[in-house]
Amino acid sequence: MNYARIDLHLHLDGSLNIGWAYRKALQRKVIPENESFEVFYDRLFRNNTAHSALSITKFDLVCDLLQDYDDLYEATYDLCRRLNDLGLIYAEIRFASQQHCKKGMTQSEVLKAVIDAAEDVMNDFSIKVGIINCLMHKGDSVSFNYEENLESIKAGEQYYGRGVCGFDLAGFENNCPYADYAPLFEIVRNKGMHFTLHAAEMGEGSHILDALAMRPDRIGHGINCIQDERYIEALKEADIPLEVCVSSNIKNTRNYASHPIRYMLERGLKVTINTDNMIFAQSDLANEYRQLSMIGVSDELLEKCMYNSLDAAFCSDELKSELKKRL
C-alpha cells in the first residue's frame, strides 16, 4: 500500500522544479549569465550552504526567484501539480511571505499569488492544499524583524480559512533565545489559528520545552528531543505531533539508519513523515516512506504515521473525513 499521501511539512522555496529555477535564475540575473546548469545544480545540492562568490545561501537564492506575482504563482502551481502526480491527496505548503517583498509586493499580495495558484490546482486536480505562513528567526534578536513577523500574522489572518491554514516559525533556531518568540505566537493562538514551530531540529533539544510552552498544534522536526528523557516525556504528555523529515536531516550523510526516527517511534511519539525540501534534500514523500521501510520500520508503523498526518492536518473535520475515505 502507498502510505505517502499527506505531507504536512514542505517548503515552497526548497521544493522548486530545478529546471524552472535555473531558467529563472538566469533571467533574473541572480547567477552569472554564463553559469552552466551543472554548476547551478551543484550549488543547490552542495552540503555547504554558503556560496562565497555571491555570499548568498541556497534559501536566499531560491527566494530571489520568487519576488513577483507570476513567479510565485508558477512555482506554487507547479509544485502542487507535481505532488498530485506523486499521488498525494493533501499537502500543507509553507513559506515566509516576508521573504518575498524585495520588489515591493506587500505580504498580503505575496500570499494572494500563492493562494491563487493553490486554488487553481485544486480546481484542476484532485489534491487539496493548505498554505502555512512562516514567521522568521532572523538576526540576533526578536526585534530584528518583529514588525515583519507581525505583518506575517496580519496578512495570514486575512486569508485564514481561505487558503491559509496555519503559521510556523522557521529560520535559524539558534540566533536568539527561542522563547522570545512566545508573544508573537500568543497573538496567533489568541485568534484561534493553528500553528506549528520548527524546534530542536538544528537547535538544542531544550527548544522542545520552549516550543511546548507556546502551546503549538504541532512541532516541526523535534528530533533533538532524544537529547534528554524530559523532552521525550514532555512531548508524550502534550501528545503533540512531530513533523519529521528524515532525508532533510541526514542530507550530508544519507545514512538513514542513523536517524532517530526509529527510536522516536519505539518511544511512542506521535510521528508524521514529511519531505521538508524536495530539492535541497533530493527527496519526495514516496522516497521518505520507502527509505524508512528499508531501514526496518514496519508497514504497521508507516500506516500509523500516515493516519497521524491526517489527524494532525490543519484542515476542517469535513475535509479530513473526505481524505480518510480516499486513504
Which positions touch Zn ion (CB under 5 A)? 276
- Closest approach of Cβ 198 to Zn ion, in Å? 6
Q: Which is nearer to Zn ion, 276 or 284 (CB)?
A: 276
Q: How far is the CB of 23 from Zn ion (least distance, A)?
A: 25
Active site residue 35: no
Q: Residue 164: beta bridge partners?
A: 131, 160
Backbone angles phi, psi at 46, to 5 degrees: -60, 145
**Cell 486536480, residue located:** 125
Q: How many Cα neighbours within 13 Å face the side chain of 171? A: 25
Helix (H) or strand (E) holding 292: helix 285-294
CA 25 from centre of chain? 22
For 81, the 3-state DSSP assignment is helix
Catalytic residue from among 201, 229, 237, 322? 201
Q: Measured from the CB atom, is 95 or 159 closer to Zn ion?
A: 95
63 and 97 in contact (C-beta within 8 Å)? no
Strand order in the sheet with 164-171: 6-11, 90-95, 128-137, 164-171
**Distance from C-alpha of 57 to C-alpha of 30, rounded to nearest angstrom:** 12
Residue nearest to Zn ion as judged by C-beta position: 276
Instruction: Give the pairing type, strands 56-57 and 50-51.
Output: antiparallel
d(CA 80, CA 297): 28
Contact status, residue 52 vs residue 310, Cβ threshold 8 Å: no
C-beta of 151 vs 276, nearer to Zn ion: 276
Please say whether the beta carbons of 198 and 243 come within 8 A: no
Nearer to Zn ion, 64 or 276 (CB): 276
Q: How far is the CB of 25 from Zn ion (least distance, A)?
A: 22
Q: Pick from 183, 191, 174: which is nearest to 149 by CA? A: 183
Nearest CB to Zn ion, comparing residues 31 and 66: 66
Residue 293, SS3 per DSSP: helix
CA distance 144 to 141: 5
Closest approach of Zn ion to the CB of residue 124, in Å:
27
**If we measure between CA atoms, which residue out of 282, 286, 227 comes closest to residue 251?**
282
User: In this structure, are strands 56-57 and 271-273 parallel, antiparallel, or unpaired?
Assistant: unpaired
For the bound state, the minimum distance from the C-beta of residue 7 to Zn ion, rounded and expressed in Å, comes to: 11
Pick 7 or 276: Cβ nearer Zn ion:
276
Nearer to Zn ion, 31 or 62 (CB): 62
- Indicate which residues carry an active-site annotation: 201
